[in-house]
Structure 1
Amino acid sequence: MKLNIAIITISGAVLAACSLVGPSGNPSVPQPVKLVEIDRYLGHWFELARYENQFERDCEVVAADYSLRKDGMVRVLNTCREGGITGKRKESEGRAKTVPGSGNAKLKVSFFGPFYGDYWILDHAADYSWSIVGEPSGRYLWILTRAPKPPKKTRNMLVERAKALGYDVDMLRWTQH
């Protein structure tokens, strides 16, 4: 496990939520309401957009790979290209566990020993082709897709869904792939 904080992306950045650094783009984050089938959520995700954060600064081509570990937890492998789409590849590996009673929509993610941060799957497609991820402070938001460059219609729909969840979509930073 690498401890380079600058390369932690997507789910790793939720750990920063505990420090409450940065502006909140949603002062009233809703509780996740859709059940999540973890087996269907596993696999490769591309970051379409995010709220900028210190852990992903200067990161492009951001992706996450989720797989089931032998102990029942989820392996999290986050990657990005530092400084641009042809930049040096960075990665960080962590683990996640589901929160009991959340319908698998809330996870706790750790990249640093016993320290866990929130990862809430606030919305997702029925076919798991996209998901919107946040955490309780409203300071972090990720829009994830299975394709690196989904159609404009999908992109617009996801922005509207994030807005409907109460997020300030003007704060979104679009990831280059």
Structure 2
Amino acid sequence: MRKIVCSSIMALAALAGCSSPPPMPPVAQVDINRFMGDWYVIAGIPSWPERKSFNAVESYALLPDGRIQTTFRYRHGSFDADLETMHPVGTVQPGTGNAIWGMQFIWPIQAEYVIAYLDDNYQQTIIGRSKRDYVWIMARTPSLPDADYAKLVDKVRELGYDTTQLRLVPQRWPDTKAP
């Protein structure tokens, strides 16, 4: 009997180690037209290409077929670096209130993109992923009041992220090297 109990405990411990975090909770509803436009990346746990980004801006435009053309532009390493861009396409997942997208950088792979927080005025947002590997705090302005930023960091923590990994994205506008 003791062997069975020990084996059961070990099996449960192994399963607990393999468990994944709960799904990223999306906001209930996103007015997709209001969400379109420019969003400055204030801070995030960045993906590899954006780990040294400066003046990062993500722009969304609704395509006629309902997908979302995304343009992510940034300078890598300094304000004086050349402008880099990425052009993924977002696809809203049906039945999610427009809050969960598949973001396609390379066909056929779509990365999870969850609008986990959005203020009532569509001025501040948090984009996350269920894996809790990347997160972005974005705003319609290149900077935020300290109290607003602190509130958003608290929300990121509540979503299950290690906020010590957040990187503030340096923003300086006007962008003196803009084309």
- TM-score, length basis structure 2: 0.80
Deviations 1:62-93 (A, max 9, x none): 11110111222111000010111221100011
Q: Residues 69 and 88 of structure 2 are in contact (CA less than 8 Å); yes or no, is this contact kept in structure 1?
A: yes
Q: Residues 34 and 123 of structure 1 are in contact (CA less than 8 Å); yes or no, is this contact kept in structure 2?
A: no
- Quick one: which of 107, 111, 127 aligns to 1:113? 107
Matched AA of 2:117: D
Q: Residues 43 and 67 of structure 1 are in contact (CA less than 8 Å); yes or no, is this contact kept in structure 2?
A: yes
Deviations 1:9-58 (A, max 9, x none): xxxxxxxxxxxxxxxxx944532142111111100000011113312132
1: CA distance, partners of 2:91 / 2:147: 33
- Quick one: which of 45, 50, 57 aligns to 1:51? 45
2:16 alignment counterpart: none
2: CA distance, partners of 1:72 / 1:32: 19
Q: Secondary structure at the match of 2:87?
A: strand
Q: Does 1:160 align with 2:165?
A: no
Matched AA of 1:170: T
1:142 alignment counterpart: 136
Distance 1:30 1:52, change over 3 A: closer
1: CA distance, partners of 2:119 / 2:24: 17
Gaps of 5+ in 2: 1-19, 172-179
1:82 alignment counterpart: 76
2:29 alignment counterpart: 35
Between 1 and 2, higher relative CO (CA 8 Å, sep ≥ 6) is seen in: 1
- TM-score, length basis structure 1: 0.81
Q: Secondary structure at the match of 1:158?
A: helix
Matched AA of 1:135: R
Q: Does 1:102 align with 2:96?
A: yes
Q: Residues 75 and 84 of structure 2 are in contact (CA less than 8 Å); yes or no, is this contact kept in structure 1?
A: yes
2: CA distance, partners of 1:28 / 1:170: 21
1:170 alignment counterpart: 164
Deviations 1:118-140 (A, max 9, x none): 10001110111011111111101
Q: Secondary structure at the match of 1:126?
A: coil
